Amino acid sequence: MLTEPIKQKIEDLFNSTPDYVGVGWGHKFNKEELTNEHSIVFRVPKKLPLSEIPEEEHLPSSVEIDGITYKTDVVEIGNVVPLACPETTLTTCYTWTDFVFNEYAGGPTYGGAGATPPGNRGVIRPMKGGISITSANNLGKVGTLGFLAVDNAKNALVGVTNNHVAVGTAFYTTYRSVTNSNEYNDVYYQPGEANFQGNSNYVVGEVVRYVPILPQPCINQVDGALVTIDPSKVTNAESYKLFGTSITTPMPFATTAELDELDSGTLLASSGRTSGVKSPTSCGIRFNAFVNLPLSTYVSNGQLQGGYVLNNTRLGANFSGTIEFIRTDLQSNGLAACPYPIYPGDSGSALVAQINGVWKIIGLVFAGSDFFGYACRIDQVAAQLNISAWDGTTKNYFNTGSRQYITTIGSNANKTLTCSSNIYWQVGTTSSINPCP
């Protein structure tokens, strides 16, 4: 049983181990066979012989929690990176590409002919979850509008995606260079594909707010942002859906208790810009078979587009409470047989699960490696962005022309600021001065 002391121990270990190590609670492997023995599971980019690891980076073989000794396990997962992708990248996998995976050739090999991109990349009207977007500050990259939700403060309809999809600089201003300015009031496009980027005919709204990122050694829970919705481009009858899926009813948010009780065999679904619809079928997606919630994850800066950009430098970031998922097809030892449960460009996708017969949103996809995908828990996303699930009924819409800004002198480490009883969100830096009266 996953207890509060175990959760706290995971956080403590995540803080005390090297930056590249993730920590979770799951089952132990014995000679590559999955067992029923619970253990603390360390997640590393690459397993190395003990002789090649500096002594100060050695991981414990056992951990004591409330008088009980648990063995530990070490699992290789590759580099975990945010999943907004450059438009020049050839993104290929499974039915949406001409793709062959050859482990003996050192990984995937690609052929461009015959690749059929999913419909998620098209002009989607009415707009709904799972479709391609980009923002003016992220031209050259593309991500996914995950789902539509309700901003609690305005009772207004908003789109939900990742911070690193919606804005150019993800971090709190207290960490930014003073020359890195004026990243606010940012429009976004649908589709976000190269031939639509920068075309005013495909501007569908503006970035409302986002949860800024904290650099290491600080720990984050959410990579999330909100965008306004053009009322002429949505309908109550269609826009609560995920593009391409068979889900036909509005999806509530899973509660904290429901998230904590999900088991590793739960089947999932998602719809993203690059890999399209992933339903609970053959080569669909599911919770990792041997790591339960919660999981603390290091998001790397070690690959081409890895990390979060701060002052023109890509940095890694720590996240806690993440949901890890894999392909449904498993080897006999419980490890994923198929790669890429998620792929660059799928950042911002909704992760959904059927709980007691009801499809519910459980997370916001933001990162992945070759065999693993990662999502922020929806209870944290909802709390930190102040949103609730949309039931398909009529809501208000943001009037972006009436938006107001205030400025503070110097940088700031607060997500929000109260001025004249109104709450303002940190959205960037500017050389203009408009202080709180």
Q: Mean pLDDT of residues grouped by 10 in the chain (437 residues)?
A: 75 77 70 66 77 79 83 71 37 44 36 65 96 91 96 96 88 75 76 92 93 87 95 97 95 93 81 87 66 55 59 81 81 66 90 94 90 91 98 94 82 86 84 82
CA distance 34 to 383: 35
Q: What is the mean pLDDT of the chain?
A: 80
CA distance 385 to 425: 10
* pTM score: 0.77
> How much is the pLDDT for 105?
35
- DSSP annotation of 212: P
C-alpha distances in angstroms, 119 versus 139, 169, 199, 243, 273?
21, 29, 20, 8, 8
Q: Which two tokens stand for residue 371?
A: 């065999």
> How much is the pLDDT for 92?
34
CA distance 12 to 297: 13
> How much is the pLDDT for 282?
55
C-alpha distances in angstroms, 287 versus 119, 145, 249, 326, 346?
26, 22, 23, 6, 17
> How much is the pLDDT for 380?
96
CA distance 239 to 365: 19
> How much is the pLDDT for 298?
61
CA distance 72 to 290: 13
CA distance 285 to 268: 6
Q: What angle do CA 374, 144, 208 make, to 5 degrees?
A: 105
- In 68-187, alpha helices (H): 163-166
Q: Determine the longest span between alpha carbons in the chain, in angstroms.
A: 66
In this structure, are residues 33 and 290 in contact, taking their beta carbons and an 8 Å threshold? no
Q: Which two tokens stand for residue 271?
A: 């719809």
Please write the tens of the pLDDT for every residue from 106-146.
333 333 444 567 899 999 999 999 999 999 988 888 999 99
> How much is the pLDDT for 33?
57
Please write the tens of the pLDDT for every residue from 246-271.
999 999 999 999 988 887 668 899 99
For 88-94, the CB contacts below 8 A with 24+ separation are 89/304, 89/305, 89/344, 91/274, 91/343, 91/344, 91/345, 93/274, 93/275, 93/339, 93/340, 93/343, 94/275, 94/283, 94/338, 94/340
- Identity of residue 112: G
CA distance 293 to 287: 10
CA distance 165 to 162: 5
> How much is the pLDDT for 108?
39
